[in-house]
Structure formats: C-alpha cells, structure tokens
C-alpha cells in the first residue's frame, strides 16, 4: 500500500532531506570561509612583514673625489672605503677616538664604497669634484629607522650604542638620514649584508631555469600524451607505461634531485649549481603532471570529432593536429601551468644539485651558477641577521608575484585558444 504524498503538508522525511541539504551547504560555506581567512592571514602577514624591504635607509655624504685618490691609472684600485670614512669624519669632526671612529664608520654600509666605485667608473669626470651622494646605511641603522630595534632598551641589549644613536639623530635633523625606495633590492644579487642583498639573482635564475623546464617539459609532455592517447596500441606495455607515469607524478621531488646529481652532473659532467641542470631536473619532475593532464584533456575531446575528420579522409595525424589538439589545448595549458607552478615552488631537488650555494653574481646564461627564488627564501630565512627577516618576506612576495604573472599568462593563453562550441 503506497500513501500518496500530501502536497500541502510534506512529511517528516522531506524535512529531514532538506535539513541534510542545508547542513551540507553550511559545511561547504564554512570550509570556503576558513580557506579564505587563512589566505588573507597569510597575505597580511607576508605583506606587513615584507613591504619594509622595498624601502631602505640612506645617509647623505658629501664625498670629495679628490684627484690624489685617483692618482693610479686603474680606477678600481682607488681606496673607496677611505673616501667614505673621510666624508663621515668631516660630518662629525668631534669624533676622534679609535673605538668611536669605528662605531661612526659602522653607521654606513660596506656597500657605500661599491656605490662610489660604480659612480666613478660610470662617469670618471666627477674626479676632482665634491658630490652629494646618498649611500646605504648599515642594516642596524635601517632596522632602527623601521622601528625594528627598540632604542629605549638598555645599551648592552641593543645593537647600536648611545653615541651612535646621537649621531643618527643629528643626521636625521639635518635631513641627511632618510628612508628611500630600495633600488638595490631589485638590481643586485645575494649578499652577506642584508642592506646590500637583492632578489635579481633569484628572479633571473628562476626565469632561466623555468624557461628550460617549459621548453623541455611542455613539448615532450604534449607529444607523449598524444602518442599514448591517440596512436599507441592498447596492450600490456602501454598499461605498464601508464602506471609508471602515474607513479612518477607522486615521487618525492628530492628523488629527482638525486637523479639529476647522478645523471646530469656526475655522468654527463654538466656544471653544478647551474640553471641548465636545475631546468632539466624540474623538467623531469614536471613531465608526468603534463602527460597526465594532457591525456585527460585529449580523452575529453568527443570521439565524434575524430570520426568526422576520419570520415572525410583526414589521416590520423591530420585528425590530431587539425581537430583534436586545438580542442585539447586549453586543458593541456592548464596542466602545463600546474606543473610549472609546482616546479616554481620546488626547493628540495635543487639542494641536491648545488643550487643552494651562496651566489652573489647575477646569472647571465643557463650555464652560470644560479639560485632560485624558493632557494633564496630558504637561504635568507636561515640567516641570523635581523635585516634578512623582511627580505625573506619580500622574496616570498616576489615569488607570489612571479606565480601570479605566470598564471595570468596561462589564463590569457587558454582564453585565446579556447574554441566555442
């Protein structure tokens, strides 16, 4: 006997069903809210920690590029640190003691001398003139200006002495101590001194390495996916290969680093710490992801399109290149970007091939020693100096910016390739 449901008074069953629906929705909304909250927290933390790295404290010195300093032919042989010291002494003639002088000279970064050298080599005509130059302050001064050193703490717990504070206040009042945009951060490589350390080495290394990864992994991955999906016979061999590709996608990345060390560096003798080896290792790591995504997107192309093409007499290859591939391309690009994003964030395999080395020079070619953004973050996070804390966050911001640029490019490409049905 079936009781007909009443339209006006639905039974308890129905209410229960609706309650389950509502619960499911609530759980979903909670999950999304939580996820967004954590992302917001992450961004807030990184940005508030990191934005100070984009500004830097500088001290204005009046430097006397006197001709006797540059008596020798070789401009690089001149004693630039002495120039800095001389102009500091001119600012504070009352400082005489050896210890006090050492403290005074400690206010300016060792990078100030390099700055002067750069100026002279760029424009030798300034020799024999007096120039006003903004030079970077020492990291401790920078930290003080950014309120990261407590000036009210007792002197023995403070990295700056009382008299140093007094000199700085003096400079500040004269307008010779200022926070300015930190160009150094974007134009130089790594350094032992936080105020001289920049991200350009990491950015360029990342760019070169990912370029190699992309140019190797994407075409090979797409070709492999097309062969396996469209041409390969269905037999035990292809099953075996498929299982292995799926397994490779789940192999811990450090194993790929070991492979790179054993094969590319030890066997083929490629130079260690270089973008080429890093790119090869990351390409190997990314390949399975691209192949799997590529096969999935090829599978999602309706078979009717293949039949239509074959039916008018297109060859197998024409069917694939004219019809199937254009339809599968957006999915393949997505897979490629997922793979590249993973490669971008990878540190572990790079440790194995020596990319964790301290590299000051900015790589100019794929065979130059290089470091990558994630490795740079790791290195800075590991450094004891207070000044590297903000650099770490700033480097993370750069990494995220890199990732977003790549993703937006991918979305743009996908939209362009997408074929409306």
Partner 1 sequence: MDVTASRMTDQIFPIVAVGDSAEAHERMHVRPLDRKTIGSPFVDNPRMMCRDVDVFYGDKQAINKVSIDVGQNQVLAMIGPSGCGKSTFLRCLNRMNDTVSSCRVQGEISLDGIDIYHSSVDVVPLRARVGMVFQKPNPFPKSIYDNVAYGPRIHGLTRDKNELDEIVHTSLIKAGLWEEVKDRLREPGTGLSGGQQQRLCIARAIAVGPEVILMDEPCSALDPIATAKVEELIAELRTQFSIVIVTHAMQQASRVSQRTAYFHLGDLIEVGPTEKIFTNPGHKLTEDYITGRFG
Binding site for partner 1 (CB under 8 A): 1-2, 233-234, 302, 304-315, 318, 322-323, 327, 419-421
* Closer of 108 and 327 to partner 1 (Cβ): 327
For the bound state, the minimum distance from the C-beta of residue 7 to partner 1, rounded and expressed in Å, comes to 17
For the bound state, the minimum distance from the C-beta of residue 223 to partner 1, rounded and expressed in Å, comes to 21
Token pair belonging to 414: 């996908």
For the bound state, the minimum distance from the C-beta of residue 36 to partner 1, rounded and expressed in Å, comes to 36
Rounded to whole angstroms, how far apart are CA atoms 262 and 394? 34
**How crowded is the C-beta side of 63, counted as CA atoms within 13 Å?**
27
* Closer of 303 and 384 to partner 1 (Cβ): 303
For the bound state, the minimum distance from the C-beta of residue 324 to partner 1, rounded and expressed in Å, comes to 11
* Closer of 1 and 76 to partner 1 (Cβ): 1
* Closer of 96 and 304 to partner 1 (Cβ): 304
Q: What are all long-range contacts of 178-181, with beta carbons under 8 Å and residues at least 24 apart? A: 178/57, 178/58, 178/60, 178/134, 179/55, 179/56, 179/57, 179/58, 179/145, 179/146, 180/55, 180/56, 180/57, 180/58, 180/134, 181/54, 181/55, 181/56
Torsion of CA 37, 39, 41, 43, to 10 degrees: -150
The number of angstroms, rounded, from the C-alpha of 374 to the middle of its chain's C-alpha atoms is 6
For the bound state, the minimum distance from the C-beta of residue 233 to partner 1, rounded and expressed in Å, comes to 6
* Closer of 125 and 420 to partner 1 (Cβ): 420
**What is the Rg, in whole angstroms, of the alpha carbon atoms belonging to the chain?**
30
**Closest alpha carbon to 291 in 346, 238, 352, 234:** 238
* Backbone torsion region of residue 102, taken as left when φ is above 0, otherwise alpha when ψ lies between -120 and 50, otherwise beta: alpha
* Closer of 96 and 234 to partner 1 (Cβ): 234
For the bound state, the minimum distance from the C-beta of residue 316 to partner 1, rounded and expressed in Å, comes to 9
């Amino acid at each position: 006997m079936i009781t007909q449901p009443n339209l006006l008074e639905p039974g308890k069953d129905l209410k229960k069903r609706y309650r389950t629906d509502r619960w499911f929705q609530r759980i979903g909304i909670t999950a999304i809210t939580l996820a967004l909250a954590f992302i917001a927290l992450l961004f807030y933390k990184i940005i508030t920690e990191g934005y100070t790295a984009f500004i830097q404290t500088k001290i204005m010195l009046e430097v006397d590029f006197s001709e006797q300093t540059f008596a020798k032919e070789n401009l690089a042989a001149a004693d630039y640190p002495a120039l800095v010291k001389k102009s500091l002494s001119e600012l504070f003639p009352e400082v005489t003691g050896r210890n006090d002088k050492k403290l005074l000279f400690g206010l300016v970064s060792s990078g100030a001398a390099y700055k002067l050298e750069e100026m002279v080599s760029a424009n030798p005509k300034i020799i024999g003139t007096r120039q006003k130059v903004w030079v970077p302050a020492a990291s401790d001064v920078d930290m003080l200006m950014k309120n990261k050193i407590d000036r009210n703490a007792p002197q023995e717990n403070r990295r700056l002495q009382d008299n140093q504070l007094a000199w700085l206040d003096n400079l500040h009042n004269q307008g010779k101590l200022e926070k300015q945009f930190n160009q150094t951060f974007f134009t130089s490589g790594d350094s032992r001194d936080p105020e001289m350390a920049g991200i350009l080495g990491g950015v360029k290394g990342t760019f070169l390495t990912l370029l190699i990864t992309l140019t190797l992994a994407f075409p090979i991955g797409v070709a492999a996916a097309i062969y396996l999906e469209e041409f390969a016979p269905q037999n035990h061999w292809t099953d075996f290969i498929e299982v292995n590709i799926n397994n490779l996608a789940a192999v811990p990345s450090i194993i790929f680093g070991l492979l790179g060390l054993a094969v590319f560096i030890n066997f083929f003798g490629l130079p260690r710490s270089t973008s080429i080896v890093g790119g090869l290792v990351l390409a190997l790591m990314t390949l399975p992801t691209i192949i799997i995504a590529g096969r999935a997107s090829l599978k999602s192309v309706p078979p009717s399109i293949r039949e239509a093409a074959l039916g008018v007499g297109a060859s197998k290859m024409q069917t694939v290149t004219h019809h199937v591939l254009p339809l599968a391309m957006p999915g393949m690009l997505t897979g490629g970007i997922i793979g590249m994003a993973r490669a971008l964030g990878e540190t572990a395999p790079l440790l194995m091939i020596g990319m964790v080395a301290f590299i000051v020079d900015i790589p100019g070619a794929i065979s130059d020693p290089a470091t990558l953004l994630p490795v740079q973050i790791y290195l800075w996070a590991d450094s004891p100096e207070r000044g590297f804390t903000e650099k770490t966050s700033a480097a993370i911001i750069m990494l995220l910016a890199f990732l977003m640029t790549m993703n937006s490019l991918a979305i743009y490409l996908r939209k362009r390739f997408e074929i409306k049905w």
